[in-house]
């Protein structure tokens, strides 16, 4: 066989066959003649290849998966067969048989199957007996930014893609809060003169009152003196001078907080009434009572505190990291433990300018209507904010498409036919499983949403191999 493969012409081959037939007999000649067309074609290709192409490597003559970079003999003394640069040989399951590969793709080099930065110009095995993986020339015909993954590996790994679209980014922020009274609807009842409580009409906390209803009966010497001055100034006769003289005492009674109805009654009747039934200045519920019947009360003492409970506040404690998404007007849903399935809907009306150093939270105020009085002071509340609801839609990708290393965020753009491009992106808001992309991708591109780790690993491997195989720049 070695003699046949070294023949350069078909004519020389025929002479050698005739001589060989005479030595092996008719039976062997029949088999040899049946293989003559194949041998002739192989000798022609081999002769042309040997004359024109350099040897890429040498393979085992028995078809076993052994190769050599130079000429070599096997254990039986047979020469290893040369494989040329334009020839690719693959092995079928039957031993000692080789068939020419049908694919015209050419192997550029072989890479380590474990992803190590180690390549070989010829097939070889690693220290675990695993074959090196061929890298073909057409796999590197790109711009250096894409990575190609075989279609069968894509199917096995469950790679999924999604088209980049413009969508609203609504983020759900959760916080805890406490129900408080509306500070603008609180009224404090005090006196501007010393006095004595002779009778209490509202004597319990929680009692509902209406504006103008009497709270208590008061005797005050200062008010008595001011009323007497008004009666004297008015005099027994009406006239223009009567109004001028009465201005001072009238204003003094007003300064003492005496209601206008009582002042007019004293002026018209001319009677200095000893006590006065003090009216409620507002409608609401008494949430504080600081007096008792018969008590002496000095000027300025808080007697009652009345709250209008038809509107309430919820003060939510929002984490510092979630604060940028919340602004005045953001919708909020409040659920209290007493009514967990009946949330109250409101909006953010104020964000307090300080942050608690102990909890690193900011206070956010939400105003809620409370016509039925279901919200009670100091109730515990679960608050859900819908941030970004009023903002313009933005280009967004699924959150699962982002590969975040902490300092760098990357998405994988699907180019088709198993090609993917890792692309750095700048991210913005997050919400509903999507992330706003400020730069890096465009509407209509396809991004990988699952099995991103596989493709990212292939990309990192390709970058490592390129840096390993590139020649060093001349010094």
Q: Of 286-300, 395-409, 448-462, which one has max mean pLDDT?
A: 286-300
- Work out the mean pLDDT of the chain and round it to a whole number: 79
Bridge-based pairing of strands 304-307 and 296-297 is unpaired
d(CA 249, CA 246): 6
| Token output for 134 | 């061929």
Q: Of 91-105, 164-178, 361-375, which one has max mean pLDDT?
A: 361-375
Residue 92 pLDDT greater than 70, yes or no:
no
> In this predicted structure, which of 12-16, 165-169, 209-213, 390-394 has the lowest mean pLDDT?
12-16
pLDDT, residue 87, reads 55
Q: Of 84-93, 94-103, 430-439, 464-473, which one has max mean pLDDT?
A: 430-439
Q: How confident is the model at residue 37 (pLDDT cuts 50, 70, 90)?
A: very low
Residue 349 pLDDT greater than 80, yes or no:
yes
pLDDT, residue 463, reads 55
**Per-residue H/E/C for the chain:** CHHHHCCCCHHHHHHHHHHHHHHHHHHHHHHHHHCHHHHHHHHHHHHHHHHHCCEEEEECCCCCCCEECCCCECCCCCECEEEECCCCEEECCCCCCEEECCCCCCEEEEECCCCCCCEECCCCECCCCCECEEEEHHHHCCCCCCEECCHHHHHHHCCEEEECEEECCCEEEEEEEEEEECHHHEEEECCCCCEEEEEECCCCCCCEECCCCEEEEEECHHHHHHHHHHHHHHCCCCCHHHHHHCHHHHHHHHHCCCCHHHHHHHHHHCCCCCCEEEECCCCEEEEEECCCCCCEECCCCCCEEEECCCEEEEEEEEEHHHHHHCCCCCEEEEEECCEEEEEEEEEEEEEEEEEECCCCEEEEEEEEECCCCCCCCCCEEEEEEEECCCCCCEEEEEHHHCEECCCCEEEEEEEECCEEEEEECEEEEEECCEEEEEECCCCCCEEEEECHHHHHHHHHHHHHHHHHHCCCCCC
pLDDT, residue 4, reads 43
Residue 233 pLDDT greater than 60, yes or no:
yes
pLDDT, residue 12, reads 53
d(CA 92, CA 102): 13
Q: What is the mean pLDDT of residues 376-383?
A: 94
Q: How confident is the model at residue 452 (pLDDT cuts 50, 70, 90)?
A: low
pLDDT, residue 9, reads 46
d(CA 179, CA 199): 34
Q: How confident is the model at residue 47 (pLDDT cuts 50, 70, 90)?
A: very low
pLDDT, residue 43, reads 44
More confident residue, 381 or 458: 381
Residue 256 pLDDT greater than 90, yes or no:
yes
d(CA 257, CA 274): 16
Residue 457 pLDDT greater than 80, yes or no:
no
Q: What is the mean pLDDT of residues 179-184?
A: 94
Q: How confident is the model at residue 85 (pLDDT cuts 50, 70, 90)?
A: low
> In this predicted structure, which of 12-16, 57-61, 311-315 has the lowest mean pLDDT?
12-16
**Burial annotation 319-346 (CB, 10 A radius, 16+ → b, else e):** eeebbebbeeebbbebebeeeeeebbeb
Residue 267 pLDDT greater than 70, yes or no:
yes
pLDDT, residue 241, reads 43
Q: How confident is the model at residue 302 (pLDDT cuts 50, 70, 90)?
A: very high
pLDDT, residue 3, reads 42
User: What's the burial of 296, exposed, middle or buried (CB within 10 Å: 0-12/13-18/19+)?
Assistant: exposed
> In this predicted structure, which of 216-225, 300-309, 403-412 has the lowest mean pLDDT?
403-412
Residue 192 pLDDT greater than 90, yes or no:
yes
d(CA 70, CA 82): 9
pLDDT, residue 134, reads 84
More confident residue, 377 or 19: 377
Q: What is the mean pLDDT of residues 82-97?
A: 52
């Amino acid at each position: 066989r070695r003699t046949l493969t070294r023949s350069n012409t078909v004519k020389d081959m025929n002479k050698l066959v005739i001589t060989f037939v005479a030595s092996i007999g008719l039976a062997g000649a029949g088999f040899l003649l049946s293989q003559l067309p194949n041998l002739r074609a192989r000798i022609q290709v081999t002769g042309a290849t040997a004359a024109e192409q350099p040897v890429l490597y040498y393979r085992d003559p028995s078809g076993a998966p052994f190769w050599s970079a130079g000429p070599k003999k096997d254990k039986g003394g047979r020469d290893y067969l040369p494989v040329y640069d334009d020839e690719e040989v693959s092995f079928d399951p039957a031993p000692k048989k080789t068939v020419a590969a049908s694919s015209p793709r050419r192997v550029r080099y072989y890479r380590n199957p474990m992803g190590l930065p180690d390549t070989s110009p010829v097939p070889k095995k690693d220290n675990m007996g695993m074959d090196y993986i061929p890298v073909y020339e057409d796999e590197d015909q790109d711009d250096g930014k894409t990575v190609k993954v075989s279609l069968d590996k894509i199917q096995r790994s469950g790679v999924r893609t999604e088209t980049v679209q413009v969508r609203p980014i609504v983020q759900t922020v959760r916080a805890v809060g406490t129900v408080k009274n509306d500070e603008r609807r609180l009224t404090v009842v005090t006196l501007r003169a010393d006095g004595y409580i002779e009778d209490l009409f509202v004597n319990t906390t929680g009692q509902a009152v209406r504006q103008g209803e009497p709270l208590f009966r008061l005797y005050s010497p200062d008010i008595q003196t001011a009323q007497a001055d008004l009666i004297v100034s008015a005099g027994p006769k009406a006239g223009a001078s009567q109004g001028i003289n009465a201005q001072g005492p009238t204003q003094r009674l007003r300064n003492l907080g005496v209601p206008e109805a009582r002042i007019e009654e004293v002026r018209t009747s001319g009677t200095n009434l000893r006590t006065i039934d003090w009216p409620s200045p507002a409608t609401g519920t008494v949430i504080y009572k600081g007096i008792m019947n018969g008590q002496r009360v000095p000027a300025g003492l808080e007697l009652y505190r009345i709250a209008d409970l038809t509107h309430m506040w919820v003060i939510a404690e929002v984490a510092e990291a979630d604060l940028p998404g919340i602004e005045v007007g953001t919708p909020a849903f409040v659920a209290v433990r007493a009514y967990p399935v009946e949330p109250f809907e409101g909006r953010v009306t104020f964000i307090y300018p300080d942050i608690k150093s102990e909890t690193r939270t900011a206070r956010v105020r939400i105003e809620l209507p409370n016509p039925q009085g279901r919200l009670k002071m100091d109730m515990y509340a679960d608050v859900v904010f819908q941030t970004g609801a009023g903002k313009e839609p933005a280009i967004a990708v699924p959150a699962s498409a982002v590969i975040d290393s902490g300092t760098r965020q990357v998405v994988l753009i699907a180019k088709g036919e198993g090609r993917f491009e890792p692309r750095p992106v700048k991210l913005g808001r997050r919400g509903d499983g999507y992330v706003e992309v400020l730069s890096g991708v465009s509407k209509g591109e396809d991004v990988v949403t699952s099995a991103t780790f596989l493709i990212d690993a292939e990309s990192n491997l390709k970058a490592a191999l390129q840096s390993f195989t590139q020649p060093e720049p001349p010094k």
